[in-house]
Chain A
Amino acid sequence: MNVMIKALSSHRLAVLTMLLAMHLVFVGTLAQRHLDIWQVQERYFHTWFAWVDSDYEGWSLPVPMVGGYGIGFMLLANLSAAYLTRLRWSRGKLGVHMIHLGVIALLFGELGSSLFSKESQMRLEEGDTLNYSEDVRNWELSFRVLAVDGEDIDVVVPRELLKTGEAVSIQELGLEALVKDVSRPTQEVPRVEFALPGQESVVLTGLDTQDRELKLGGRTVLAALRHRRYYKPYALTLESFTHERYSGTSIDRLFSSLVRLRDPDHGEDKTLTISMNKPLRHKGETFYQASYEEGGASILQVVQNPVWWLPYLSCVLVALGMSTHFITKFSMSRKGRP
């Protein structure tokens, strides 16, 4: 047992973990030539075990590695064991301890955002008003029943509920749809084929530019396969989009969106500017100027991360720890002199 604890708390394990982490980061960086950043995060960093994925390198043997979660866990276990057995809480070491606490906060911050943060986008042309953002890496099947009198009815089926060969009951329409074929989540262009009672089978893809019109028992239904939407209790309007280049070059000098935010719940109605390095924060969500399309559409990245403060806490701890360390070292070296 003692041997185990000694090994667990050893410098050797710390060094080994850091070297493993380096290897993982290196492989995870190389993989970005072939995978997008989200796939890389899923496969290498936000996972317990990872494979040096070889299909793209043309090797036949995948090599197992400890994933990001595994590395984090090893570091935590090592540090906790070291604190419990080996390290002493002396004043001279206070700074070093704070730096290590900062590193722990950093690890938890990354764990938290991998679990809880939600990213989506808003694409706005000038004059557009939107009360939802879209998750461009996920999609859903939507039906809109056009009203004969009263309001339209919207029905949304998330991708997870669509499975080949299974039926999905859509209560609002009082019918069942049989899913004949559905694309895998990794496929670039989503596609779904389904049949409604008494109808020919319908094929929808993510490339469709118009909603499909279906006649169901005298009612008109618009069906579409679209990016997953997150509806919000407030709306954004793009008043104007500014895009400047340095004269005589193709280098972007600035792009910024003038938006109007209307939040009836809070009685807010204000106009403000979102630009690079100057986001808008509202109700736990942050809107960043991410990109633009030629022709004036502005693309805002919408991020919700409940643990955004953890890295900041970590930075404070590290900064305090470093200053404490230098001050104690300095005063000790002063004392040591004759």
Chain B
Amino acid sequence: MTKTSAKSRDVFEGGVDERTLLLSPHDNIVVALKDLEAGVTLWFGEGGCVLDRPAPTGFKIARRDIARGEKILKYGAEIGSAVADIEAGQVVHIHNMKSDYLPTYTHDGRNFTKRDGR
């Protein structure tokens, strides 16, 4: 699995699927560069893994298995913690991670719902 890109990027790009972006070599997630359908096979390092749910542009996908309680790393920085065991290829979002600072709020019908990951 080799990849080429028409333009050089300013980011590390070894060993990740070209439909995704690895922002720092320390990261355990990649960012979708286009809207990806559930079920597509993504290639990270040696093996392929299957995307578990749709990942629109900008969404995060685990590039390796992440254990419950482990920090999620993006830009090489901690952006929260896993609240469930996450497998490579699974979307990482508010259903399986939480902030280490403040709860996240989402739309739930007409109301805002507190999502603190518990």
Whether chain B is bound by chain A comes out as no
